[in-house]
Amino acid sequence: MKTWLFRPFDRIAGGLALGLGLAILALTAILATASGLHTDGVIDLHFGPSVPVWVLMAQGLINWLCLGGILYVLGRWLSSTRFRAIDLFGTQALARWPMLVAVVYMAIPGLSNRIETYTQRMMAAMPDDPSKVMASSAYLLDAMWLTLISLPVLVMIGWMIWLMAHGYALVTNLKGQRVVFSFIGGLIAAEILSKVLIHFLMKAA
């Protein structure tokens, strides 16, 4: 069980991982559309304006391909192992399954309204002058509730990042500092690239 949760790619990779991963991307897009959520970045999940399902599908594909593409280039550059592209892209697609769980959680009736209410109340409390400290104790409880409600989503995103890193390390057979720094660098680069591409996508939609 532990292997399936934290090291699933020891058991599954290649075409099967790719197929399952693409199905998860599609399902995430459908559920996110229904809940008014956007996956507008490799590790992002936000509420946003209502858009057709193809936009969410495109967001999912952009996120997956940006990270997969960058990690593929890094792996080819740094690793001496002759790894298969299908393993890297397959594991990176399947690594996104916690995002589906996060979307299902966010679809719980009433939850999105609560999050929006707390966020709006706190945003309204922000002073115009940025040098002033915001923290009025009246909003401390709101902040705590918001953190508590968001915690499962943060855990799922953390889990997803772990799975992405595990897939990358296993497929490229990189170890030590090489895998840590190249993955972090790749994730940051992919986040920026996906944000830019999704910005253009939203303009076109």
Partner 1 sequence: MKRTPTQCPSCDGELAVTELTCTACQTRVTGQYRSPLLLRLSPEDQAFVEAFMIDSGSLKAMATRLGVSYPTVRNRLDHIIDQLHQEEPSP
Residue 136 lies near partner 1 (rule: CB under 8 A): no
The partner residues of 101 in beta bridges, in order of sequence, read none
> Which is closer to partner 1, CB of 13 or CB of 55?
13
> Which is closer to partner 1, CB of 82 or CB of 132?
82
Residue 173 lies near partner 1 (rule: CB under 8 A): yes
Among 4, 6, 11, 141, binds partner 1 (CB under 8 A): 11
Q: How far is CA 34 from CA 27, 50, 177, 188, in A?
A: 11, 9, 41, 29
Binding mask 68-107 for partner 1 (x = CB under 8 A): -------------x-xx--x---x----------------
Residue 116 lies near partner 1 (rule: CB under 8 A): no
Residue 134 corresponds to which tokens in the numbers above? 């915001």
Among 13, 32, 67, 164, binds partner 1 (CB under 8 A): 13
Residue spans of beta strands (DSSP E) within 78-181? none
Backbone dihedral angles phi then psi of residue 42, each to the nearest 5 degrees: -55, -40
Residue 163 lies near partner 1 (rule: CB under 8 A): no
Among 10, 19, 140, 196, binds partner 1 (CB under 8 A): 10
List, in order, residues 6 or more apart from 170 with CB less than 8 Å away. 9, 10, 13, 91
Please return the burial class of 1, using the count of CB atoms within 10 Å of its CB with bins 0-12, 13-18 and 19+.
exposed
Residue 162 lies near partner 1 (rule: CB under 8 A): no
Report the nearest approach of partner 1 to the CB of residue 68 (Å).
15
Report the nearest approach of partner 1 to the CB of residue 168 (Å).
11
Residue 19 lies near partner 1 (rule: CB under 8 A): no
Start-to-end CA distance of the chain, whole Å, equals 42
- The candidate with the shortest Cα–Cα distance to 168, out of 183, 154, 151, 155, is 183
> Which is closer to partner 1, CB of 81 or CB of 136?
81
> Which is closer to partner 1, CB of 13 or CB of 100?
13
Among 4, 5, 6, 12, binds partner 1 (CB under 8 A): 12
Q: Which amino acid appears at position 60 of this protein?
A: G
d(CA 120, CA 1): 41
Residue 90 corresponds to which tokens in the numbers above? 């397959």
Q: Which residues bind partner 1 (CB under 8 A)?
A: 9-14, 17, 81, 83-84, 87, 91, 170-171, 173
